[in-house]
A = this chain, B = another copy of it.
Amino acid sequence: GVAELDHDRARRRGYPEAVFCEGKSPAQLRAIATALLERHRGAPAEQVPRTLFTRADAERAAAVLEVLPDAFHDPEARLLAWPAAPPEATGGLVVVACAGTSDLPVAREAELTARYLGRRTELVIDVGVAGLHRILARTGTLRAAAAVVVVAGMDGALPGVVAGLVSAPVVAVPTSVGYGAAFEGLAPLLTMLNACAPGVGVVNIDNGYGGGHLAAQIAAPRRD
């Protein structure tokens, strides 16, 4: 086989392994999807852990859907989920906020990931710091969250501002939105790592999946 999926991960960590589609051929993805189908053949859908296929362009998404035609597919977020129905929501609320319209694909990937890991989610868009009244108007929503994911490109200033407003942890996702001295996301990445307000954990550039995953873990039901 071309892949050795870490099936033990769901047992060990509570969350199944996702399939990163970039750099895999459609043929390899069909093989992986088939193995998944075989493994859970006959099991009731609600007992099958939801497997995500991330960063799937049109061609790769089609390959997965060939084998798993009933999978959920969001082309903007480049994400598929199988089985298609998210698990019943538990734990705290995950709020995903993004600075600009162009950050939406990454924000949506974060939101869907958190939802498929079992959290309630809410999306807040186009609230960048150039017009502060927009984010201030959403303080109520932000304070209702157990974890806030903040997605921003260009100057990446939004996560630090949000962290200064709430007591919940902020997961910061820099994006490659911008040009020139944004250096493909390096600028917002550095901004977020240097946020003056403590309480910001940063993930990789454009890593909506990782941001949603971390937020889902933070907001998971707890048993201290």
Count of interface residues, chain A, beta-carbon cutoff 8 Å: 97
Query: Is A37 among interface residues, defined by CB-CB distance under 8 A?
Result: no
Interchain nearest-CB distance for A58 vs B (Å): 14
**Contacting pair A179 B206 (CB below 8 A):** yes
User: Known interface pairs A4-B125, A146-B224, A181-B204. Does A132 touch B132 (Cβ–Cβ under 8 Å)?
Assistant: yes
> From residue A95, how far is it (CB to closest CB) to chain B in Å?
14
- Which of chain B's residues have a CB closer than 8 A to the CB of A186? 181, 190
Asked if B102 contacts A164 (CB within 8 A), the reply is no
A1 to B203, CA, bound (A): 27
Considering the complex, which residues of chain A in the window 1-18 have a beta carbon less than 8 Å from any beta carbon of chain B?
2-6, 8-9, 12-15, 17-18
Given the complex, which residues of B lie within 8 Å of A129, measured CB to CB? Answer: 129, 157, 160-161, 164, 196-197
**Sampled A-B contacts (26; CB under 8 Å):** A6-B131, A8-B131, A12-B165, A13-B199, A22-B102, A22-B179, A130-B196, A131-B164, A146-B224, A155-B160, A156-B194, A178-B194, A179-B205, A179-B207, A180-B185, A180-B205, A181-B194, A182-B194, A187-B190, A193-B204, A194-B204, A198-B209, A198-B210, A198-B214, A199-B213, A199-B217
